[in-house]
Structure 1
Amino acid sequence: MTGLKELTVHGAKSIADAHAKHRWVIPPDYNAAVDCLDRPFHDRSKICLFYEDDEGHTATYTWGQMIVASNKFANALRGLGVGRGDVVAVHTPQRPETAIIHMALYRIGAIGLPISKLFGPDAIQYRLEHSAAKAILMEPETVGKLDGVRQSVATLKHVIVCGGKAAGLPGEKVAGLSFDDLLEQGLDRFTPDRASQAEDPFLLMYTSGTTGNPKGVLHVSRYLLGHNGIDYSYDFLRDGDLYYSMADWAWAGGLLDGLLAIWPYGTPVLAYRSKARFDPEVTLRLLEKYGATVGLYPPTALKSLREIKKPRERFKDLKLRCIVSGAEPVSPELARWVNEELKVGFNQGFGQTEANYFIGTCGALEPYKLEPLGKPFPGHRVAVVDSEGQPVKNRDVGEIAISRESPVVMKEYWKNPEAMQEKFKGEWCVTGDMGFADDEGYVYFQGRGDDVIKTSGYRVGPAEIEAKVIEVKGVASCAVIGVSDPQRGQAIKAFVKVLPGTEKSDALIRQIQEHVRRKLAAHEYPREIEFIDEFPMTVTGKVRRRDLREAEEKKRKATH
């Protein structure tokens, strides 16, 4: 079977050369679990998953053990009545059971529904009801979220609870079906009811928009094959690599970019479960202990790591060689810090749940440029389009879009045909992200459609301004919005978080304003600056500029 690993163009001299030589090969019987675990190069005696939690429990799984565990659990699920096309929710973090159940579901032909542990009862109930989920996997401490919910979800037949043995814990009795008991009862070999198909649904992920209820994004198996950009963005995965990312396995950046699209290369993964907030020192100690070499690090994580001075001197045994950042564009200043202080190769990856990981950079093929998101990865046809879906001229701002024929584009919005009509404009799947392309093929991010600021007749993207603000010494991170202004329509306001030890002063405000005016333009500098301790964030680590705008509007109305 051709898998994700075979979709890299080896020996290319540039991204353009790789594009010219790339050919999509989508096996009609493609199965994600087979690509993740069952390929001939998956040495069954070698470790595929390292696990540790913040209480010191550890576990490891070889490829052979993970194959057997996923087979056993697939048989156990089938014994519970879970079949092809059934939806099973997974409300667990980075831990072995999460990986096992996903592999088991794909073997059956069932659909995995990841639900973040950050969600409360109402969010869980909506997803279970809307998806008609048949079962859910939970941890003992989260089962209480189903109180008052379970009875309202008519389709929910089974609540499976992690007992702990699979994650190196002593094991405990649980209320509901025990994951450990089901795993022990299952047979070692699994036979599917029919041959897999590349168009079989395998993953349902809910994404929040600016209005209305969350939308369920349905993906079919060939979606995983569209993630060929993974290999390029890590400057080509190789023997000896170990992957780690703090990104939650309930999100595309964690589950797809950090597990499902890593295992097909034969690269092992490190999982870490912590009940505490992200701690940069704990993370660096973990990377040093296990020898992790590659990983996805969201901009928020990089900004936290940046607060550690001279990380290579403090953590001398770090093996990191290349990291990727996504979710939001990384400022040139932050990218320079990664290169100069963390001393690793740095690339970017861009996409969204509906169409993931189709633009990025590959330092092994082309020198890294600080400002753009990158270029389309080989095989992906990308354009910047206007409101009618027509490509615009280079340097003109429009909506970043990808051909609907790309394997990395979603199948459909679950039970929501109206949203499908908005998502596609002719041959293009539009992202809602504004940007432009230059003459070399690089794509630049300007902000979400609703984040673009209109000031004095100009359209200004917040990302470009934020990148310049963070260049100022003492600035840790920044978020820019437009605020009402009777003269300009909108004025630019920056919310700034400073590094420890930096004074929040009028002098710093003037320095920021002068720097941005000098580097960009007179109409692009922030006329208002407010210091802030923490930003409102989405569960995927993006700054919620909308929350900042709404809070600012309320404050202004109250004072007028």
Structure 2
Amino acid sequence: MQAAFRWEVPERFNIAQVCCGRWAAQPSSAARIAIRAHGATGAARTLTYGALKKFADALSHQLTGLGVKRGDRVAIVMPQRFETAIAYMGVFQLGAVAMPLSMLFGPEALEYRLQDSEAVVAICDESSIANIEAVRAQCPALRTVIGVGDAASRADVPADTGAGRAAGPFEVVDTDAEEGAILIYTSGTTGPPKGAYLPHRAIIGNLPGFVCSQNWFGFDGVANAKSDAVFWSPADWAWTGGLMDALLPTLYFGREIVAYNGRFSPELAFTLMQDHGVTHTFLFPTALKAMMKAYPEPEKTFRLKLEAMMSAGEAVGDAVFAYCREHLGITVNEMFGQTEINYVVGNCSMNGRTDQGIGWPARPGSMGRGYPGHRVAVIDDDGNECAVGVPGDVAVNRFDVHGDPDPIFFLGYWKKPDATRAKYTGDWCRTGDLATRDADGYLWYQGRADDVFKAAGYRIGPSEIENCLVKHPAVINAAVVPKPDRERGALVKAFVVLSPDFVASRAKAGVDAAKFDLQLIEQLQSHVRGKLAPYEYPKEIEFIDALPMTTTGKVQRRVLRLQEEERARASS
């Protein structure tokens, strides 16, 4: 597929035009539902493509009136709701730069990003207005705060919906495909957050991976467009996973996406997908593990219409892989990418229909292969491709196999040229994630470079051990880190979140809870020892209520690792 694929990137290109404007311009597609709000009723339940464009136009006029110019940064601090999508379209079409910020950010996190980006406007709702107010004085570039919903009365001005105005349609700015469109900050798990500056063309680079991982989303076979594709993901639209892997590509194809602003739960996920006839989804491995434990046989309770599922952020593992195939009727397509170079590796199972000449069989535990248009390799420290089976850094070349520029690439880190240069070895952009490659080109995840460690001379990758632990009925999630040890250098330690049934059993044990824990720890150690190498079983297990997670659903092993290092220093 790589040899047959060629990029087509127009010189002039605007995300808002392809995700909204072109659909609103045709009567048949203007009336099509763009976004459906789960839990809402009446007129507030759906937003058509025509309405999305009308509201985006009103906001673009308002921003222009507030002095926002081409290239200015506009912060968008809202959850999954109609106004969030409207804000993105309104910012893109006037040539400004959208800066997504999670509503979960506290004042300190918001202040850093608003200061660093020099955002001139922030659009927020009731979930974030208080934190914006708390840091406003420390952000001198922030001229105006626009309020949505219950925040309208507290902000400088309420968002303009176009009611009572006669400004008319807003003409989309004729942006260059290379112009910046999105400034999205990395999670900062290995240092201060960095702003990844993405151009309009990045959405084009995203499309092959999205289409493949969603089993040819929105198309019947290869050529015939379908109208019944419905997408949903709990991924926050403020993050790459929710914005670039869910909202924007769904709108690009003129399909329907479900928005839900609320707490995730397994029951919510299954009920939402059933009620709205969701056909395509992106679910984090953490969410899938919780769903598997809560509903071991979901087909007995729910009636789903799933056609494809993508998962990313952590390794899925063969336990979850088998659960989805056996009980949801779906082969999970794992995907790998980063904010800087998103959607570059993954699977396209076509749910077993790969004999049609498209897709490739998903292999349990594998990251998949490079998606069409992306030249992906496993490289060593010098930038040379590693041999089959030899671990190295997953990297993507600036140029595809034909020598054409890959449009997936970010423009660089905001105001950090040294960090941008350090990301590359020649034309290879390093991810910092370790993997091996097999003879068929499939990649096998070994962990983050800073998550892999040595214990008693053995190289330990946490994901395989974590996957093994989750197969035990007592475990809902797990994280493995090194614990400093004077003799071995480090030993394998697992932090384990118990399933609700075992939490209840532990509570019933009362004064015998310590004995219960010891017995369960021995069971879990024996479970891992019997399935993996002897040196991989966790020498120590600690039960905790919840693992530290990023807002994008990734386990923060670094937090646990630093905790263990601090404990070691305190006891020495």
CA distance in 2, matches of 1:209, 1:95: 26
Structure 1 equivalent of residue 192 of structure 2: 213
Match of 2:209 among 225, 229, 235: 229
Q: CA deviation at 1:344?
A: 2.7
Match of 2:392 among 394, 398, 401: 398
Structure 1 equivalent of residue 420 of structure 2: 420
Structure 1 equivalent of residue 473 of structure 2: 473
Q: Any unmatched runs of 5+ in structure 1?
A: 1-17, 165-170
Structure 1 equivalent of residue 284 of structure 2: 298
Matched, 1:385 2:365: no
Residues 2-17 of structure 1 aligned to structure 2 (within 5 Å): none
Structure 2 equivalent of residue 542 of structure 1: 554
CA distance in 2, matches of 1:141, 1:401: 38
Residues 503-518 of structure 1 aligned to structure 2 (within 5 Å): 505-518=517-530
Structure 1 equivalent of residue 252 of structure 2: 264
Q: CA deviation at 1:134?
A: 0.8
CA distance in 2, matches of 1:33, 1:147: 29
The letter for the 2-side match of 1:106 is F
| Distance change >3 Å, CA 196–CA 498, structure 1 → 2 | same
TM-score by length of 1: 0.90
| Distance change >3 Å, CA 310–CA 470, structure 1 → 2 | closer
Q: CA deviation at 1:55?
A: 9.8
| Distance change >3 Å, CA 529–CA 350, structure 1 → 2 | same
Structure 1 equivalent of residue 107 of structure 2: 121
SS in 1 for 2:36: strand
| Distance change >3 Å, CA 180–CA 452, structure 1 → 2 | same
| Distance change >3 Å, CA 507–CA 149, structure 1 → 2 | closer
The letter for the 1-side match of 2:454 is K
Residues 33 and 255, structure 2, Cα contact 8 Å, conserved in 1: no
CA distance in 1, matches of 2:531, 2:314: 21
| Distance change >3 Å, CA 386–CA 536, structure 1 → 2 | same
Match of 1:532 among 544, 553, 560: 544
Moved more, 126-135 or 497-506: 497-506
Matched, 1:327 2:313: yes
SS in 2 for 1:37: helix
Matched, 1:203 2:203: no
CA distance in 1, matches of 2:126, 2:496: 39
CA distance in 2, matches of 1:186, 1:215: 41
Match of 2:6 among 10, 16, 23: 23
Match of 2:136 among 127, 150, 153: 150
CA distance in 2, matches of 1:382, 1:130: 32
| Distance change >3 Å, CA 209–CA 173, structure 1 → 2 | closer
Residues 420-499 of structure 1 aligned to structure 2 (within 5 Å): 420-499=420-499
Residues 321 and 345, structure 1, Cα contact 8 Å, conserved in 2: no
1:428-457: CA deviation from partner (whole Å, max 9, x where unpaired): 111111111111100111111111011232
Match of 1:191 among 154, 167, 171: 171
Structure 2 equivalent of residue 557 of structure 1: 569
Q: CA deviation at 1:43?
A: 1.1
Residues 475 and 499, structure 1, Cα contact 8 Å, conserved in 2: yes
SS in 2 for 1:501: helix
TM-score by length of 2: 0.89
Structure 2 equivalent of residue 36 of structure 1: 19
Residues 326-345 of structure 1 aligned to structure 2 (within 5 Å): 326-345=312-331
How many residue pairs get aligned? The number is 534
Q: CA deviation at 1:469?
A: 2.0
CA distance in 2, matches of 1:116, 1:92: 7
1:474-527: CA deviation from partner (whole Å, max 9, x where unpaired): 322211111122332221111122222235644443343334334332222222
CA distance in 1, matches of 2:166, 2:325: 48
Q: CA deviation at 1:360?
A: 0.6
1:345-381: CA deviation from partner (whole Å, max 9, x where unpaired): 3211111111111111111122221111111101100
Structure 1 equivalent of residue 235 of structure 2: 247
The letter for the 1-side match of 2:276 is Y
SS in 1 for 2:93: helix
CA distance in 1, matches of 2:311, 2:294: 18
Moved more, 130-139 or 519-528: 519-528
| Distance change >3 Å, CA 68–CA 57, structure 1 → 2 | closer
Moved more, 524-533 or 36-45: 36-45
Residues 80 and 237, structure 2, Cα contact 8 Å, conserved in 1: yes
1:155-206: CA deviation from partner (whole Å, max 9, x where unpaired): 2111000036xxxxxx97444211145665363312245x221001000001
CA distance in 1, matches of 2:132, 2:256: 34
Moved more, 174-183 or 429-438: 174-183
CA distance in 1, matches of 2:310, 2:234: 12
CA distance in 2, matches of 1:313, 1:387: 48
SS in 2 for 1:454: strand
Q: CA deviation at 1:327?
A: 0.9
CA distance in 1, matches of 2:172, 2:373: 31
Matched, 1:369 2:355: no
Q: CA deviation at 1:148?
A: 4.6
Q: Any unmatched runs of 5+ in structure 2?
A: 219-225, 351-358, 400-405, 506-515
Match of 2:34 among 20, 30, 48: 48
